[in-house]
C-alpha cells in the first residue's frame, strides 16, 4: 500500500454575529435565488429565528416554500418525505433553520432534487451504499443553526438512521457543504438545558476524535486527487481548530447550559461548534461516533427530556458521549501525547501525568462534564444491557467511514468490550 502524502483543507464559509439571521434575504438575492425552500422542524417553526427568516425573505421579495416536518434524528423515511415535498417545486435555493437534523435534511434535499439517483443508496457511504460521487455543483444552501453542537453548517456530511439496519449512516461530499452558515447567538436562546448539554458534548467529542484520529499520512493514497476523502485523518490544520474548540468548550459549556442568559457563553459555544466542525469536517471522527450510530438506531423506550420528539430517542450528542470515555481509555495507547494534549485543552493539569495514564485522565475529564451536566450514567441508563451488545457491535462494524480512522484498530471483540465498558460511565 502506498501511503497518503497530502491532505486537503476544504474551506467553510460562516458569518458570526448577533442578528445576522436578518441578512439571509439579501444573501439569497446576491446568490441569484428567487424561490427558496425553507427547511425546519415543527418546534423551530414556531420560534423567533423562523419568523425572522421569513420576514427577511419577504422583505427581499423572495418566495418562500416552507417544509416543517423534519424529524429529530432523521431517517431514510423522513429524508424521502422532505425530498418528495421539494421535488417539482421550482426551487433555486434552500435555507435550513434548526439543528443538525434540519441542516442534514436540507443537504439531502439539495442533492437528491438536483441529481436524482437511480437508487436512494447510490450516494450513501460504502459499504452500506455505493458512495457515488456528487456529479456537480448544488443549489445555494444557507444554514442557520439554532443549536450549538453538530457543526453541520461547516461540513459536507449528512447523517441519517437507515431504518432497515437500526443504525446511522450518511452521505459525505465536499459539495454538500452549505454555501454559507449564519452563526447567530440569538438563535440559541431557546435551547432547553438538555439540548444544550447534548449538543455541547457533541462538540467536545468531535474535537477530541478529530485530534486523535489516525494521521493522514497513515491512510492509503488515492488513485486521483478528486477521490481523496473528506475525512482524511488528523492533520496540522484541523488540529488547530480542534484544540481551540476544546478550549472554548472548557470555558463555556457548563456556563451556557446552567445559565442560558449568559450571552457570552452561548456565543462562544455556537462558535465552538463551527470550530470543531472545520476540524472534524476535514480530519474525521472515529469510534465514539461509529459506536453511537447503533445506540441511536436500536433505542427502545428512552426519551431524552427536552426533546419534542414523538418517538424514542437517544439524541446524537448523548449517544456519542456515552461511548467516549471507554473509547479514549482504549485508544490512548496509540497516541498518548495527543490524548494528554486534548485533556490539557479541556482544563486538566497534565504536568505530572504519565503517558500510561493518558486514557484514564482524558476519560475522567469527560465524565466530569457528563456528571456536571446530568447526562445519563452510561448505556444502561438509556435502556441497554449486556444482551444488546452483539446488535450494537453489528451496527458499528459497517461504519468504515469513521471506524477506520481510529488510532487503534477495533475488531468485533474489542467493540464488544468497549460497549461493556460504556454501560456505566461514572
State pLDDT tens for residues 228-264. 888 999 999 999 999 999 999 999 999 999 999 999 9
Q: Of 183, 207, 238, which closes a domain? A: 183
Peptide bond just before 127 cis, omega within 30 deg: yes
Burial of 246 (0-12, 13-18, 19+ CB in 10 A): buried
* Grid-cell match 439579501, residue found: 26
51 and 104 within one domain: yes
- Counting as low any pLDDT under 50, the low residues of the chain are none
Give the count of beta carbons closer than 10 Å to the beta carbon of residue 165.
Answer: 17
130 and 26 within one domain: yes
167 and 26 within one domain: yes
Q: Tell me the per-residue pLDDT of 40-70, one tens digit each, with 9 for 90 and over.
A: 999 999 999 999 999 999 999 999 999 999 9
Secondary structure (3-state) at 280: helix
Residue 237 near residue 10, CB atoms below 8 Å? no
- Cα–Cα distance for residue pair 322/327, rounded to 1 Å: 10
360 and 212 within one domain: yes
Strand partners, 220: 3
State which residues form the domain around 330. 193-421
Predicted confidence at residue 155, as pLDDT, reads 94
CA Rg, the chain, in Å? Answer: 20
The CATH number of the domain where 276 resides is what? 1.20.1090.10
Q: Using the 8-state DSSP alphabet, how is residue 333 labeled?
A: G
243 and 169 within one domain: no
Predicted confidence at residue 10, as pLDDT, reads 86
pTM: 0.94
- Cα–Cα distance for residue pair 347/254, rounded to 1 Å: 13
Predicted confidence at residue 33, as pLDDT, reads 98
Predicted confidence at residue 152, as pLDDT, reads 96
Residue 113 near residue 207, CB atoms below 8 Å? no
- Cα–Cα distance for residue pair 349/16, rounded to 1 Å: 32
272 and 150 within one domain: no
Predicted confidence at residue 227, as pLDDT, reads 83
139 and 26 within one domain: yes
The CATH number of the domain where 85 resides is what? 3.40.50.1970
Predicted confidence at residue 58, as pLDDT, reads 98
Sign of the alpha-carbon dihedral angle for 27, 33, 34, 37: negative
* Grid-cell match 448505556, residue found: 379
CB-side neighbour CA atoms (13 Å) of 61: 3
CA dihedral 353, 379, 191, 373 (to 10 degrees): -40
Buried/exposed code over 331-348 (b: 16+ C-beta within 10 A; e: otherwise): bbeebbebbbbbbbbbeb
- Cα–Cα distance for residue pair 272/50, rounded to 1 Å: 23
Compute φ and ψ for 211, nearest 5 degrees. Answer: -70, -30
- Is 327 a domain residue? yes
Q: Of 138, 155, 183, which closes a domain? A: 183
Secondary structure (3-state) at 186: helix
Amino acid at each position: 500500500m502506498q501511503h497518503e502524502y497530502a491532505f486537503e483543507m476544504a474551506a467553510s464559509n460562516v458569518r458570526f454575529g448577533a442578528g445576522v439571521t436578518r441578512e439571509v434575504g439579501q444573501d439569497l438575492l446576491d446568490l441569484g435565488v428567487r424561490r427558496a425552500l425553507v427547511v425546519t422542524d415543527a418546534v423551530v417553526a414556531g420560534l423567533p429565528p423562523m419568523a425572522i427568516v421569513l420576514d427577511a425573505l419577504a422583505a427581499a421579495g423572495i418566495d418562500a416554500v416552507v417544509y416543517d416536518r423534519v424529524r429529530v434524528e432523521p431517517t431514510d423515511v423522513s429524508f424521502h418525505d422532505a425530498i418528495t415535498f421539494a421535488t417539482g417545486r421550482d426551487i433555486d435555493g434552500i435555507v435550513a433553520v434548526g439543528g443538525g437534523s434540519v441542516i442534514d435534511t436540507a443537504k439531502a434535499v439539495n442533492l437528491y432534487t438536483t441529481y436524482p439517483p437511480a437508487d436512494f443508496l447510490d450516494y450513501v457511504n460504502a459499504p452500506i451504499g455505493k458512495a457515488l460521487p456528487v456529479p456537480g455543483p448544488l443549489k445555494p444552501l444557507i444554514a442557520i443553526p439554532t443549536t450549538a453542537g453538530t457543526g453541520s453548517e461547516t461540513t459536507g456530511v449528512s447523517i441519517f438512521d437507515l431504518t432497515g439496519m437500526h443504525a446511522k449512516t450518511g452521505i459525505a461530499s465536499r459539495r454538500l457543504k452549505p454555501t454559507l452558515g449564519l452563526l447567530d447567538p440569538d438563535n440559541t436562546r431557546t435551547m432547553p438545558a438538555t439540548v444544550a448539554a447534548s449538543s455541547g458534548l457533541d462538540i467536545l467529542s468531535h474535537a477530541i476524535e478529530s485530534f486523535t484520529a489516525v494521521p493522514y499520512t497513515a491512510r492509503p493514497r488515492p488513485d486521483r486527487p478528486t477521490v481523496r476523502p473528506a475525512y482524511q485523518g488528523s492533520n496540522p490544520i484541523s488540529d488547530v481548530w480542534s484544540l481551540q474548540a476544546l478550549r472554548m468548550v472548557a470555558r463555556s459549556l457548563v456556563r451556557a447550559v446552567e445559565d442560558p442568559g449568559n450571552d457570552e457563553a452561548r456565543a462562544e459555544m455556537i462558535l465552538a461548534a463551527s470550530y470543531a466542525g472545520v476540524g472534524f469536517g476535514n480530519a474525521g471522527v472515529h469510534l465514539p461516533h461509529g459506536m453511537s450510530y447503533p445506540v441511536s438506531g436500536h433505542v427502545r423506550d428512552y426519551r431524552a427530556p427536552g426533546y419534542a420528539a414523538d418517538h424514542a430517542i437517544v439524541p446524537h450528542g448523548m449517544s456519542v458521549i456515552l461511548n467516549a470515555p471507554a473509547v479514549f481509555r482504549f485508544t490512548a495507547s496509540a497516541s498518548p501525547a495527543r490524548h494528554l494534549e486534548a485533556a490539557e485543552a479541556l482544563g486538566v493539569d497534565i504536568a505530572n501525568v504519565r503517558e500510561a495514564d493518558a486514557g484514564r485522565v482524558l476519560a475522567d475529564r469527560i465524565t466530569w462534564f457528563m456528571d456536571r451536566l446530568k447526562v445519563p450514567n452510561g448505556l444502561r441508563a438509556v435502556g441497554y444491557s449486556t444482551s444488546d451488545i452483539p446488535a450494537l457491535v453489528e451496527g458499528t462494524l459497517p461504519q468504515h467511514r469513521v471506524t477506520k480512522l481510529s488510532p487503534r484498530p477495533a475488531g468485533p471483540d474489542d467493540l464488544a468490550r468497549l460497549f461493556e465498558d460504556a454501560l456505566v460511565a461514572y
